[in-house]
Chain A
C-alpha cells in the first residue's frame, strides 16, 4: 500500500499535500499533533536540531517549535495559533517562521484534514501563503540541497 505524496498548487497562493497512511485516523491525528511524537517525524533542515516543541491542540492554543544550529540557538522558530480544531477531522493553525534574529521569513495558514477509509487515513495539508512570491519561495526551499542528486535522477527519467 505505498501511495506517494502528492503535491499540487491549485491556486497562486496555496500548496496542497496529500498522503495516505496505513493507520486509523485517530493515530495519525495523535502522531501529527502530540509534541513528543512530532519530534520524531518533523525532520529539521540539515544542520538543525529541534529544541522546543509545544502544541496546545484547541482553538486559541499555541504551536511553538524551535531549532538550534552550531551557530545560533534558536536558529529558527515556528510560532502559530490554532484557529479551529475538530478532533480527528480538521485542524487549522497560523504559522510564522522566523530566523533566530527574529526576522520573519514567512507566514502561512495550514489546514490539516483527515479522511479514513478501510483503516487507511489520508491526510491533506493545505498551506495558504500571503502572496504568490511567498508560496513560490516555500516551494523552492531546499532546491539547492540535493540538487545534483535530483538532476541525476531526472536525467534518467528525461533521457
Chain B
C-alpha cells in the first residue's frame, strides 16, 4: 500500500516544486478559475500557464472542465492531504520522542542545579 502510493506522491511533490504552480493552487483555493484568470497574476503567457496547469492535472491536484470556450479549473486537495500526511506521521513519531527528551533534559538540568547547590 505504501509502495503503491509512492509514485503518485512523486507527482504531487514534483507538482508542488514550482512557485508558479503553488501560486495556481493558492488561487484555486479561492474557488474555480478559468485559465485566463490563472495566467494573469503569474505574468505568464497563456501557453506557459497551461503547461503548469497540466502538471497539476497530472498530479490530480487540479481538475479541468470545459464549458463552451472556457477551461475551468478547480482544486482537488485530496492528494495534497496525502502528501502532507505522509511526512506528517514521520514527523509526529519523532516529535513524540523529542518531547520525552525535553522532559528528560529538564530532569537532568534540575539534578545538576540541585548538586551545585549542595556543594
Residues of A within 8 A of B (CB): 4-5, 7, 9, 15, 17, 19, 21-23, 27-28, 30-32, 37, 40-43, 133, 136-147, 150-151, 154-155, 158
Contacts and interface: CB of A to CB of B under 8 A. Distances in A.
24 contacts: A5-B91, A5-B94, A5-B95, A17-B94, A19-B94, A19-B98, A22-B106, A27-B108, A30-B108, A40-B100, A41-B98, A41-B101, A136-B6, A136-B9, A137-B3, A138-B90, A139-B86, A140-B5, A142-B89, A142-B90, A142-B92, A154-B85, A155-B81, A158-B80
Contacts, number: 99
B89 A151 contact: no
A127 B93 CA distance: 15
Interface of B: 1-3, 5-6, 9, 77, 80-81, 84-98, 100-102, 104-106, 108-109, 112
A22 B102 contact: yes
Given A7-B94, A40-B100, A139 B87 contact: yes
A43 B100 contact: yes
A150 B98 contact: no
A146 B104 contact: no
Nearest to B77: A158
A147 B89 contact: yes
Given A19-B98, A41-B98, A140 B86 contact: yes
